[in-house]
Amino acid sequence: MANQNHKIWLFVHVIVTVHERRPLLKKPIRTVLFAHLQQDASAKGTKVTAVNGVEDHLHLLIQLHPAQNLLQVMKALKTEASGWINNSNLLTEPFEWEENFAAYTVSPSGVKQVADFIGKQEEYHKTKSLESELEVFDKVQL
């Protein structure tokens, strides 16, 4: 029989893009948005272990309980975040996310490496595009 004290968590690296990949998330907006995303996710029972990004997209490392549905969690987080950005008048135009997102599972042994990668997004994207980044992830298959 399984030990009832064990916690089961699933780690997922998620990449969400601004609608039409418009460069709307300037640094001051990202700073407050990241804190807001972490608080909102926590209130919904999801832990955002790492979050960072650049003007046109964000990376999140989320920790899900197995009963949580990734699509529902991301829809709720994106809907709340875009509503918060729009209601806070942080931009002079309406904000929205692309409907689709990329998601990659992360083994517990890879969590630190992915969190470090997410933490270096601004530096990473000085020389690499989102497209080249996604190509690298898409090549990693079993």
Mean pLDDT of the chain: 87
pLDDT for 137 equals 60
Question: Vertex 111, ends 108 and 114: CA angle to 5°?
Answer: 145
CB 108 within 8 A of CB 11: yes
pLDDT (mean) for 23-32: 94
Q: Which CATH number fits domain 10-139: 3.90.550.10, 3.30.70.1290, 3.30.230.70, 3.50.50.60?
A: 3.30.70.1290
pLDDT (mean) for 6-21: 90
Query: Cβ atoms within 10 A of the Cβ of 52, count?
Result: 18
pLDDT category of residue 142 using cuts at 50, 70 and 90:
very low
Segment 77-129, tens digit of pLDDT: 999 999 999 999 889 999 999 999 999 999 999 999 999 999 988 876 776 66
The CA radius of gyration of the chain, in Å to the nearest whole number, is: 15
Query: Residue 34's closest CA among 48, 16, 13, 17?
Result: 48
